Amino acid sequence: MATNDYIPHAPGFVDNEGPKIVSSRFGHADSFTLERYEQTGGYQAVRSVLAGSTSDAAQLVKDAVLLGRGGAGFPAGVKWGFMPPVWPRYLVVNGDESEPGTYKDRLLMERDPHQLIEGCLIACYALGLNTCFLYVRGEMAEAQERIGTALNDAYDAGYVGRDMFGTDVAIDIVLHWGAGAYIVGEETALIESLEGNRGMPRLKPPFFPAAKGLYMKPTIVNNVETLANLPWLFTNGVDAYKEYGSERSPGTRMLAVSGHVNRPGVYEVEQGVVTFRELFYGDNYCQGIRDGNDLKMFIPGGGSAPWFFEEQLDLPMEAADVGSAGSMLGSGALVVMDETTDAVKACLRIVRFFARESCGKCTPCREGTTWEEQILQRILDGNGRPEDLDLLADIGSQISPGEYPAAAHPEAGLTAVPFPPKQTTICPLGPSSVAPITSAIRRFRHEFEAAIAASPAAPESDPEQRDAVVEVSA
Amino acid sequence: MTATENQGTEAVTGVPFNLNGRAVHATDGELLIEACERNGVHIPRFCYHNRMKPVGMCRMCLVEVDTGRGPALQPSCMLPVTPDMQVETESEVTKQAQDGVLEFLLTNHPLDCPVCDKGGECPLQDNAYAFGPGESRFIEEKRHYEKPIPISDLVHLDRERCILCDRCTRFASEVAGDPLIHFIDRGSQTQVNTFPDHPFSSYFSGNTVQICPVGALTAAPYRFKARPWDLEAIESTSTVDATGARVVLQSSQDELVRILGLDSDAVNWSWLSDKDRFIHEANRSENRVTEPLARVDDGLQATRWGDATAKVATALQADASRIAVIGGARLSLESQYAWAKLAKGVIGTDNVDTQLADGLPAALALGLPRATIDEVCAPGGVIVLLGPDPKEELPSLSLRIRHAVIEDGATLIEITPRATSLSDLASVRLRATPGIVGQVLVAIANDQLSADVGGVAASDLQAAATLLRGERPLSVVFGRANLAESARYTADAIGAIRSIAPDASYLPALRRGNVNGALEMGLTPGFLPGGVRNSAEVGVEHWPTTPEFQGADTEGILRAAADGNIDTLILLGADPLGDVPDAVLSASAIENVSTVIAVDSFLTDSSSKADVVLPAAMFGEADGAFLNVEGRLSPLSAKVTSPGLARPDWMIAAEVSLAMGDDLGFGTLDELRQEMSAAVASLADVDWPGLSSADDGPVLRPHRNWDLEFGKPADAPPEPKSGLRLLVDRKLWDAGTMTAESPSLVGLAEPAVLRLSPSDAVGLNLVDASHVTVEQGDESYDLPFVVDESVAPRTAWLPIRLPGFDARKLLSSGGSVNSIQARIADGLTDDDAGDGGEPTAESEDTSDGGRQ
């Protein structure tokens, strides 16, 4: 790459009109400092929780229907209830945000680390535990620095650690930096990594973290955004919280929009109310597709989500509705692609990510994702074969048996296949690689066929390359 | 094995589930893959291994399971059967998943089966015939790695063949406790490898080759030696150490080429040490004695069996009290009986000892209530380790103890003079200085727990006392921890444990091969076969006589020989010059005996000085029986022909006896066994023909619980006026004959290192030094040293004998605890140390004593 190429920063937060629950301080230049946090009502919620009773706090989270913001959207209060009465027990904060397209947790950690810390304290107290591990993705240098500073300040202020806020409660928050692996965003892999092992998922069952998690003790793993909601929720109460969003999904979500829109960025959006069309085209949000182009497809929930198209634009961003329409809201990452996008290249781009990030544990994922990548690359290199499309479909069904979730395609007479996919693997990484392939071929088969038709002939493998011995290890 | 039999009856009351439409039962908590297997349905697998924790990695064992929420694919290796589970192992969905996994596994597998050692016995090859498409749809470039890389001296890794099943890596970290191989990189570039500069130098590395489901891991000694379909196999028992690990001997063209571990529930769970596995190379050594040799002038010359036995018979005409026999631990039980009969029942001498002055009093091994390995390792028990590091002396036993503590909630009390491979697992560690271990346990027995004893803190004494006096079943694994201190102190310690915990049971950790058989057959002074004490009143059926005097043990025999009181010394596969701790005494003894007769397979230091050498068949060349550490009888099998004129030891005894004019009374192994059953009470019920087909073999349990007289505990040895007390013990890889004759093993011994406490390192002014000079009398060595916090102050820890190093020159017998003088080596500092200064004066991690 030429040195004078300008690499723009990832888009940041867009301070638009609308309710602000977790991004209320983002407008301040010093939003990450303890002073600003306290000036704006910080650390009041945890004080009041400490004055109340534990069961109250847990019940409040349940009543508020606080949905997990990591991807699965499971109610946090219900998850908290799964813990058997066993001590020690742990809270683990999943700050290993790495789903392609997602960058909202990074902003929450960079811009308002104390809000997250306070959320952790409330959760620890509610769960009756005193050790919280904050796992921050390895690449997020600024987030690590901001959280590290904030934690030091909070410890110095007596808000974390022994005798916090002058009570006899002691809660420790341990900051842990990841080493940079996508799969560690999966909660059991994160626990493995936290224990010092290679980040590989554990099979559920028997290792449901709530019962057997970190060090085989009961462990709640919550997403950064989920916990960042707690200070506001405990300050303003359930009713105020439920005023926002839909009945099934109260509150707001941080949505990261990237791709071919005029104003990409992270938006705090009321859950289950705003439609995709409003988000992409609304003046308060992304303000339309770039250059007035037509929308070709969009990914509603991060790289692992099946693609949506024009027909799904009027769906509200409600988890159940999106699921039955054949995809997922996931971690709140939306990638918009306009008509200039090459479907085959877009497909390869995402599949390659999963192939490179496969942890290597389950055979179908380790071998299947790489095989998919190799076939797609070969098609783009002009060496495609007509049978490659069936082969891709077969490989997909060997990683994810049965019909793969997909959006309806009325023109072709195809109805929606609801989420989630089945899997022959432990975690959903392998099946995720099938999403772009199924979505792209189902909708844009002609583009693949055109690429294959342009291929001169079946490939001859280069004998020199075949016999070459490549030493891969360092 | 026995567990399988039990499961048959338990299944009726177990967990009911539905297997392919058939109502069957699983045992409580049984994994689906095992339950299916037991009910006749084999589920293909690569990563699952019944002796390791499941990981669900390969996904080959996916089956369709419905637990009430609709059918879903589940890895059967990780799923315990729950009541009324519906399992479909042959459905279309199951088959498609399994076919898919197999196709994926083959995409990057090189298919070089014709030149692969695993070809013909390869699970991947086998499953490829049964599952997956016949032809590959993979036309892309396969991944390439350098082929193969040595990851240790014994094991090669071909990463192209590897299917990443996690078996070897799991074995290394979970079973062996040597996490030296691991996955690196990710995605399809995931590979097994070692850490930089840390080879996979585990004592157990060969097991990874055996459990590799493809040909990714191959053993250097076996590479390209044979094809599986050319191999003949027979089950046998390893005689490398007293654990009696069960093995399969495999031969090609009448040569032993491979030894595999046999999955014996009771003993070694299929695991072997590398010594068990590769020692067969010694059978093919060019240095084997293949014909009888007799001394002519100054040299040994080949002679005929008849002439040799005649010479022996002449030498045995001496007065019985002037004849002595040393050794016999290498022999089969039958040969041990035959030699015991010849020595004690025909010649009438009691100067017979199988131990080489490096063991413990025979009565301790014979008369204490015996625990089986299973009983020692039973869930929830308390294990006392009073002896050497089991990993160095009885490696496959150490794996069982390790598992018991880690997985089954056993509690370990370690009473050893230094850190062992199990120290990390021990709940209490009592580190007595040399010569004090008896005092430490006497203090516990007398409830004197308020003051430190011999370097052991009072708090540790209290912790040990609580466990020793507790309600949980207690077993004691005991052996000789320090060859530089008298065995007396260990005996005192056992005496004290007897009074603290009268119900404790015992496992004697004597190391040498069939030593337990030798003791049981009476190859020890004062005893007749079956643990019967010799006296004028008792006799042995079929024996013409019994000794009329109390004989001497090996040390006594050597002393008598040195004093000119022994005329004829028979060495039964023993090498006192190489093995007896007091090397000066054994040299003087061999010098002063008129006739030395060696029954051996090699010319060792000792047998090369013999007047007659009778060539003996080795392990794998003769049938017989082995009595292991727990008193379990298992078969020794002949797989190959012994070279030249070598023959089984019992036959040699019979020939010698005939030459003396006495018929021992048996001409075949069957006749010998019949006589043994008649003459030895503990063998009365042995089903000899059934021995080779019995699963684990019977445990001989005479239920002995002798009222042993331990006497007043010895006083603490005097503190050496100057210098350091010695702590000397054995390493697995040493200068032993069998290791030296196995080309693949001979280089594995580590250089000798002296270990000493941090305070002595400072006291000797070693802070900037790399080497230390140790001396005793005229002997001195310059050695590298390591500071080891587990070593008591004023103590020096040395290996007894390694290639190029012999600590025995610093030892003398008769004293209580040996000591040495130590000082900084002249002119050697870190900068000019010749060998790169590997050991340093820096405190190193001593959690495992720095041993691998």
- Asked if the model's pLDDT at residue B840 lies above 60, the reply is no
Q: Using the beta-carbon criterion (under 8 Å), do A366 and B191 form an inter-chain contact? A: no
**Residue range B92-116, pLDDT digits in tens:** 999 999 999 999 999 999 989 999 9
Q: Using the beta-carbon criterion (under 8 Å), do B73 and A401 form an inter-chain contact? A: yes
Structure tokens at A53: 């009773």
Specify whether the CB–CB gap between A292 and A260 falls below 8 A. no
Residue A310: the pLDDT is: 95
Class of CATH domain A252-338: alpha beta
Structure tokens at A468: 């070459």
Specify whether the CB–CB gap between B525 and B551 falls below 8 A. yes
**DSSP-based three-state secondary structure for A464:** helix
Distance between CA atoms of residues B589 and B606, nearest Å: 11
Residues belonging to chain A = 474
**DSSP-based three-state secondary structure for A206:** coil
Q: Which of B78, B97, B191 sits opposite A424 (nearest CB)?
A: B97
Q: What stretch of H or E contains A219?
A: strand A219-223
Residue B703: the pLDDT is: 76
Structure tokens at B678: 């008649």
Chain A positions touching B62 (Cβ under 8 A) are: 424
Chain B positions touching A425 (Cβ under 8 A) are: 59
Q: B850: how many CB neighbours lie within 10 A of its CB?
A: 16
How is domain A34-242 classified at the CATH fold level?
Rossmann fold (3.40.50)
Average pLDDT, whole number, for chain B? Answer: 91
Q: B631: how many CB neighbours lie within 10 A of its CB?
A: 23
- Asked if the model's pLDDT at residue B296 lies above 90, the reply is yes
**Residue range B326-356, pLDDT digits in tens:** 999 999 999 999 999 999 999 999 999 999 9
- Asked if the model's pLDDT at residue B767 lies above 90, the reply is no
Q: Which of B59, B140, B186 sits opposite A425 (nearest CB)?
A: B59
Distance between CA atoms of residues B764 and B780, nearest Å: 16
Closest Cα in chain A, distance from residue B632 (Å)? 38
- Asked if the model's pLDDT at residue B851 lies above 50, the reply is no
- Asked if the model's pLDDT at residue B11 lies above 80, the reply is no
Q: Which of A371, A401, A469 sits opposite B140 (nearest CB)?
A: A371
Q: Using the beta-carbon criterion (under 8 Å), do B185 and A473 form an inter-chain contact? A: yes
Kindly report which listed range (A408-412, A448-452, B11-15, B656-660) carries the lowest average pLDDT score.
Answer: B11-15
Residues of A with CB under 8 A from a CB of B: 181, 198, 203, 205-206, 355-364, 366-371, 374-375, 378, 391, 394, 397-399, 401, 422-426, 459, 461, 465-466, 468-473
Q: Using the beta-carbon criterion (under 8 Å), do A473 and B193 form an inter-chain contact? A: yes
ipTM for the assembly: 0.91
Task: Write the burial class of residue A290 (CB in 10 Å: 0-12 exposed, 13-18 middle, 19+ buried).
Answer: middle
Structure tokens at B191: 């590979």
Q: Exposure pattern of B171-202 as b/e (b: 16+ CB <10 Å)?
A: bbebbbbbebbbbbebbbbbbbbbeeeebbbb
Residue with tokens 């047998």: B607
Specify whether the CB–CB gap between A96 and A190 falls below 8 A. yes
Closest Cα in chain A, distance from residue B300 (Å)? 55
Share of chain A above pLDDT 90, in %: 86
Amino acid letter, residue A361: K
Q: Which of B59, B72, B193 sits opposite A362 (nearest CB)?
A: B59
Interacting residues of B407 by C-beta distance below 8 A, sequence separation 6+: none
Residue A432: the pLDDT is: 96
Structure tokens at B641: 């022909």
Q: At what angle do helices A363-378 and B92-107 cross, to 10 degrees?
A: 70
What Å distances lie between residue A58 and A124, B429, B755, CA to CA?
10, 45, 57
What Å distances lie between residue B62 and A293, B73, B77, B205, CA to CA?
47, 6, 8, 30
Which region, left, alpha or beta, applies to residue B94 given φ > 0 means left and ψ of -120 to 50 means alpha? alpha
Please tell me which residue, A212 or B716, carries the higher pLDDT value: A212
Specify whether the CB–CB gap between B250 and B260 falls below 8 A. yes
- Asked if the model's pLDDT at residue B449 lies above 60, the reply is yes
Distance between CA atoms of residues B732 and A44, nearest Å: 65
**Residue range A296-355, pLDDT digits in tens:** 999 999 999 999 999 999 999 999 999 999 999 998 999 999 999 999 999 999 999 999
Task: Write the burial class of residue A117 (CB in 10 Å: 0-12 exposed, 13-18 middle, 19+ buried).
Answer: buried
- State the pLDDT confidence band at B846, using cuts at 50, 70 and 90: very low
**Residue range A50-85, pLDDT digits in tens:** 987 556 788 999 999 999 998 888 999 999 999 999
The domains found in chain B, sorted by start residue, are 2-105 (3.10.20.740), 293-359+514-690 (3.40.50.740), 363-508 (3.40.228.10), 724-824 (2.40.40.20)
Catalogue the E-assigned strands of B160-215. 181-184, 191-194
**Residue range B28-87, pLDDT digits in tens:** 999 999 999 999 999 999 999 999 999 999 999 999 999 999 999 999 999 999 999 999
Residue A53: the pLDDT is: 58
Q: Which of A361, A424, A468 sits opposite B57 (nearest CB)?
A: A361
Long-range pairs for B682-687 at CB < 8 Å and ≥24 separation?
A: B682/B520, B682/B530, B682/B531, B683/B530, B686/B633
How is domain A343-453 classified at the CATH fold level?
de novo design (two linked rop proteins) (1.20.1440)
DSSP line for B767-822: TTBSEEEEEETTEEEEEEEEE-TTSPTTEEEEESEETTEEGGGG--SSSSB-EEEE
Structure tokens at B605: 């230091």
Closest Cα in chain A, distance from residue B267 (Å)? 30
Average pLDDT, whole number, for chain A? Answer: 91
- Asked if the model's pLDDT at residue B820 lies above 80, the reply is no
What Å distances lie between residue B57 and A183, A308, B181, B670, CA to CA?
15, 33, 17, 50
Structure tokens at B300: 């040994």
Interface test with A, best of B66, B88, B139 (most A CBs within 10 A): B139
Specify whether the CB–CB gap between B219 and B150 falls below 8 A. no
Closest Cα in chain B, distance from residue A387 (Å)? 10
**DSSP-based three-state secondary structure for B595:** strand
Which has the closest alpha carbon to B420: B849, B850, B852?
B849
**Residue range B521-548, pLDDT digits in tens:** 999 999 999 999 999 888 999 999 999 9
Chain B positions touching A465 (Cβ under 8 A) are: 141
Interface A-B: count of C-beta contacts within 8 A: 124
- State the pLDDT confidence band at B842, using cuts at 50, 70 and 90: very low
Which has the closest alpha carbon to B337: B597, B513, B526, B528?
B528
**Residue range A97-113, pLDDT digits in tens:** 999 999 999 999 999 99
Residue of B nearest to A365 (CA): B187
Q: Does a cis peptide bond (omega within 30 degrees of 0) precede residue A205?
A: yes
> What residue spans define the domains of chain A?
34-242, 252-338, 343-453
Residue B298: the pLDDT is: 87
Specify whether the CB–CB gap between A397 and B93 falls below 8 A. no
- State the pLDDT confidence band at B816, using cuts at 50, 70 and 90: low
**Residue range B386-397, pLDDT digits in tens:** 999 999 999 999
Task: Write the burial class of residue B70 (CB in 10 Å: 0-12 exposed, 13-18 middle, 19+ buried).
Answer: exposed
Which has the closest alpha carbon to B819: B738, B747, B751, B719?
B719
DSSP structural state of residue B173: I
Task: Kindly compute the dihedral angle of the four CA atoms of residues B117, B121, B123, B128, in this order, to the nearest 10 degrees.
Answer: 90
What Å distances lie between residue B478 and A433, B414, B493, CA to CA?
58, 11, 10
Backbone angles phi, psi at B493, to 5 degrees: -65, -40
- Asked if the model's pLDDT at residue B13 lies above 80, the reply is no
